[in-house]
Amino acid sequence: MLHIILLLIAAFFAGALNSVAGGGSFLTFPALVFVGLPAVIANATSTVALFPGSFASVYSYRRSWGHLEGISLRAMLIISVVGGMVGAALLLVTPENTFVAITPWLLLFATLMFAFGKRLGAAIKRHFHFGFAALSISQLIIAIYGGYFGGGIGILMLAAFAVFGMTQINAMNGLKSLLSGSLNAVAVVVFVTAGKVYWREALIMMLAAIAGGYFGALFAQKLPGQAVRIFVICTGAVMTVYFFWHAYGWAL
């Protein structure tokens, strides 16, 4: 019973965290490992549990979709689905150590890019055209990483959107939720087909994640945009420190 309560709490707050900044798997993955699931199974089960919560967040952000100037939603969805499929396939055939080693560097880069995205975006655009083509390439890389592991893809997407020139945080979060949910949905098909999901735990967490995703997005939209940005930056900083410790801590 205590294990079920732990999974419910972790999934609810993971869904809420995903709706604002991403990183919900940093709650669900350790919780699943704690209750006894092997690492790869825990990773796959966490993805299955969390992806419906992303679409609950999308619904909550539905009034912000008018702020997606210059972005082809269809193209971004296709890119995300393809990348998610490639990443999920990689998880099944390659060791996790490689991605664990580069994850903190990706998160550090993403957090800095989001924090200083407006200034850096202006500086980059003076020397390099970060248009929709560049955004598409970055989204493909993020989607592959997301299908493989998923930790921090929200921060990575928000950083790319900021450099592209998006400033409306609710629109950014809505787009991020839609794309991450779509790429994870494809990863779910791969994981289920490969038999890597523990369904009892996945279904328990799925309901809590949906509730967290919906109510987390509603709450976030009531906050000032600057407060949400600060929360995203703080979340990215904490995740970066954790993953540097996780990947390199034993060598320090």
Question: What integer best gives the mean pLDDT of the chain?
Answer: 81
Encoded tokens for 234: 């703080």
Q: Which of 127-131, 191-195, 228-232, 237-241 has the highest mean pLDDT?
A: 191-195
Encoded tokens for 225: 């945009």
Please state the domain count of the chain.
1
pTM of the model: 0.74
Question: Is residue 251 pLDDT above 70, yes or no?
Answer: no
Question: What confidence category does residue 252 fall into, taking pLDDT thresholds of 50, 70 and 90?
Answer: very low
User: Which one has a higher pLDDT value, 155 or 50?
Assistant: 50
For 72-83, the pLDDT digits (tens) are 889 999 999 999
- Which of 61, 35, 60 minimizes the C-alpha distance to 46? 35
- DSSP 8-class letter at 251: G
User: Which one has a higher pLDDT value, 129 or 199?
Assistant: 199
Residue 129, pLDDT score: 67
User: Which one has a higher pLDDT value, 201 or 248?
Assistant: 201
- Which of 38, 28, 42 minimizes the C-alpha distance to 191? 42
Question: What confidence category does residue 205 fall into, taking pLDDT thresholds of 50, 70 and 90?
Answer: very high
Question: What confidence category does residue 56 fall into, taking pLDDT thresholds of 50, 70 and 90?
Answer: confident
Q: Are 176 and 160 in contact (CB under 8 A)?
A: no
Domain assignment of residue 202, given as a range: 2-251
**211 vs 213: CA distance, rounded Å:** 6
106: left (phi over 0), alpha (psi -120 to 50) or beta: alpha
Question: Is residue 235 pLDDT above 70, yes or no?
Answer: yes
